[in-house]
Each structure stands twice: as structure tokens, then as C-alpha cells.
Amino acid sequence: MNANPRPAWRSRAVPVVVVVAAVLIMAMCTVGTSGPLSRIIPVVIGGGAATAAVWAVRRWRADRAAYERRLTEWAATEAVLAERLHIARDLHDLVSHGLGLITVRAAATRHLPAPAEVRSALDDIEETSRDATAELRRMLGVLREPTAPGPRAPVEGLDALPGIVAAAGAAGVRARLHAGELGDVPPGVQVAVCRTVREGLANTARHAGPADATVRVRRDGGHVVVSVADSGPAHGWRPTPGAGHGLAGLRERVGSLGGTLSAERVEAGFRLTARIPDEVR
């Protein structure tokens, strides 16, 4: 059962209009061909019909606006939940790789000549890492949708950035990559950097069209800073903005790493910047 169901469209205007129409029809049936009521009741019926019509239009518009607000909030929540699921999957892939390496090293080392205490410790390390890896695999099976298991894609790293930037050319974006010396960057931070570049270039393609874009990745002390800035909409380009849910999901990912995400206008263009700490190794 979906814990966050899609909002349903409902309007209170329709049943009220139906009731008013039924009452007015019944009133018209009571109007005679002569007498004072034959002049008063039609005026009352006409006024009531006009009033009901105006109220119904206003009520329908208000209900529609409220529905669109609920739908937008629902879509943003779904985007965040989907990104949390992606984060959990990436976390599994990253952690299981490290645990697998620990298991292999412990299994290979415990057979070497060593004191009994060391061999016992290595046995414990191997057994614990195997159990943790098995539990991670079980959790991944729960997280992945059973209707669309699909092949597992490799976790992206910084070496994927040139390909991501080059792929933006298919949408007409003339992107350039400037990457400084970053040193040792944790895998989770590398994934967040790649997602930021993808989202920034996708926004450039939607909002600016065939424009220039600059991707910068640099180190600032204990942080990795990545930014995607464009030169503004190309001449004659009509922006096709999305709903902003991609940014909501990206903010969830960057925030889960203790980082910050900012999106701002710079001169004629737009810049997306993520600042992600990587002190934790």
C-alpha cells in the first residue's frame, strides 16, 4: 500500500450546482401563467441561477488551485523519497564493496603465521563482514522494486565527469569541464558530484537551450565544491522548465552528506552549486 497516495481531484461546486438546478427546475414548474408570482418567481429563478453559476465558477477555480498545490507537494515528496531510495542503493553498493575487500583480506591474512590472538581477531573480522554483507544484500532486495529489478548500474565516480559533460552536447549545450586537484574523495561524495553535474546541465538544456555552460569541480579545504553555470538563454529560446523535483531530490542527497545546495541567478544565466564535506573517510 502506498503511504503517500496521489491526491484526488474533487470539487464541491458540482454537487451544489446539481442541487440548485434541481430546486430551480422545481420552482419553474410551479410558476403559473397569471398572477403576481408569474412576474416575481422568474426573476428570483434567474437571479438564483446567475448567483449559483458565479459561485460555482469561483468554487471550481479555488478547488482546482488547491488540488494543483497538493499535487505539487505530492510530486516533490515523491521525488525526495525516490532520491532516498537511490541513496540507499548507492550506499549498499559502496559499503558492500568495502566490506567485501575486508572479508577477502581477512580471509587471506588469517592463514599467515601469527599469534593465536591475531588469528582469532581475523576470524571475527571475516565472520562479521560476511554477515554484514549478507544483510546489506537482503536490504537491497527489499529496496529494489520487484516489478522492475533491472540490472544494477555501477556507481558513478569522478572519472565519469568528462562523459557526462560531453553527453550534454546532444542537447546543444556547449559545456566545458574545469576540474582541480581533489585528492582522495569518498565514493559517496563522488556520486553526489556526478548527480549535481547531471542536474545542472539538464537544467541548462531546459532553461537556456544551446548555450554555453561551465562545470567546475574544486577542493576548498575539507569540502568538495561543484558548480554548473550557464550563460543564459540562447537567442529565441523558449524555456521549458520542469517542476523542480530534480532539485528537491538532489538537495536531499547533498544534505544527507552534510552538504549544501544553492541555485541562483548570476548575471544573465543560472548557477547550481553544491558544497559537500568529505572529512569522513
The model's pLDDT over 160-201, given as tens digits with 9 standing for 90+, comes to 999 999 988 888 889 999 998 898 888 888 888 998 998 899
Is 273 in contact with 226 (CB distance < 8 Å)?
A: yes
> Closest Cα to residue 80, out of 4, 193, 158?
4
pTM: 0.57
pLDDT tens figures, 230-272: 998 888 888 776 656 778 888 888 888 889 999 998 888 899 9
Domain limits, the chain = 13-76, 158-277
For residue 106, pLDDT over 80 is answered with no
Q: What angle do CA 24, 51, 12 make, to 5 degrees?
A: 85
Q: Looking at domain 158-277, does it have CATH number 3.40.50.11740?
A: no
- The full 3-state SS of 211-257, as one line of letters, equals CEEEEEEEEECCEEEEEEEECCCCCCCCCCCCCCHHHHHHHHHHHHC
